[in-house]
Copies of this chain bind each other. A is one copy, B any other.
Amino acid sequence: MNTLELIKKNLDTFSKSERKVAEAILASPQTAIHSSIANLAKIAEVSEPTVNRFCRRLDTKGFPDFKLHLAQSLANGTPYVNRNVNEDDGPEAYTSKIFESTMACLNAAKNGLDTNLINRAVDVLTQANKISFFGLGASSSVAHDALNKFFRFNIPVSCFDDIVMQRMSCINGSEGDVIVLISHTGRTKPLVEIAQLARENDAFVIALTAEDSPLAEQSNLVLSLGVPEDTDIYMPMSSRIAQLVLIDVLTTGFTLRRGAKFRDNLKRVKAGIKDSRFEKTNDEAL
């Protein structure tokens, strides 16, 4: 855990002098990591061994080791705990807060992912006869994005954000079809019904959604992003970014699995859009 947060959290478990040390560090972490133990002791108005004991209490080997941990926690982007945007933030402030919280969220998502499940999902996708991506509302753009990526593999792939089309597509389904359903909450009724319908028609259902949600229960394979969406007054932001990155991961896994043969396909698609470009075209998507 972030050392700085750890200190903050344990403030009341410290003794009087140790708290002085804690406060001196919190007041200026940057000073702390560049001070000797003697210097920090003077700043905190305690003795040197007290500082040392403080460090040990935080599960470090001693003062130098503690400085290392602290330095790392300072480097970690989010120096202070609360990164929520508030009313009177200026452009500078809210821009970096949003970027930082998105990064933190991706980091959390990364750590919470089960790579075995990802591998399974890639397995299933590579063997699919046809792949469909469905999402509603905010998740529909994630589905579109997935379409845009998978379509380059030159395999049958579709994407609908219209519930009627989704239903029809499911009904016409058959074994070998893979349906990828995207929903952050996993509680969107129509989508849960789609999952049922798809399975009744022998399709394989992969869900990008929350664990233990109704949608998860109806799916064959669940890729959950343990992103505790900050239920602030704004809208789902980070969670969706994490979904997109997960799509990137699946796409990459797919590409690797299919091997060199399929990489040629990508090149062909890219070449195809080349002449709709101005010169100096470096080959990626529009």
Q: Which residues of A contact B (CB under 8 A)?
A: 33-34, 64-65, 67-68, 71-77, 85, 87, 89-92, 94-96, 98-100, 102-103, 106-107, 109-110, 113, 115-116, 118-119, 122, 135-142, 144-145, 148-149, 152, 183-185, 187-192, 214, 229, 231, 233-237, 239-241, 244-245, 248-249, 251-253, 255-256, 263, 266-267, 273, 276-286
Contacts and interface: CB of A to CB of B under 8 A. Distances in A.
Given A71-B68, A185-B284, A233 B266 contact: yes
A188 B276 contact: yes
Nearest to A190: B276
A102 B98 contact: no
How many copies make up the complex?
Answer: 2
A126 to B, nearest CB: 13
A255 B234 contact: yes
A1 B48 CA distance: 33
Contacts of A286: 135-139, 183-185, 188, 191
B229 A284 contact: yes
A102 B263 contact: no
A148 B144 CA distance: 13
Contacts of A116: 91
Contact of A277 (B188, B253, B279): B188
Given A148-B141, A256-B94, A248 B102 contact: yes
Nearest to A33: B68
Given A252-B234, A286-B138, A91 B118 contact: yes
Given A71-B71, A102-B248, A248-B237, A185 B277 contact: yes
> Which 10 pairs across A and B sit closest by C-beta, in order of nearness?
A137-B286, A72-B75, A138-B285, A99-B110, A141-B145, A141-B144, A91-B119, A187-B278, A91-B115, A75-B75
B106 A149 contact: no
A249 B110 CA distance: 23
Contacts of A285: 137-139, 184, 235-236
Nearest to A192: B278
A94 B141 CA distance: 24
A188 to B, nearest CB: 5
Contacts of A251: 234-235, 237
Nearest to A284: B236
Contact of A249 (B99, B139, B185, B239): B99
Contacts of A185: 277, 281-282, 284, 286
Contacts of A280: 187
Contacts of A189: 276-278
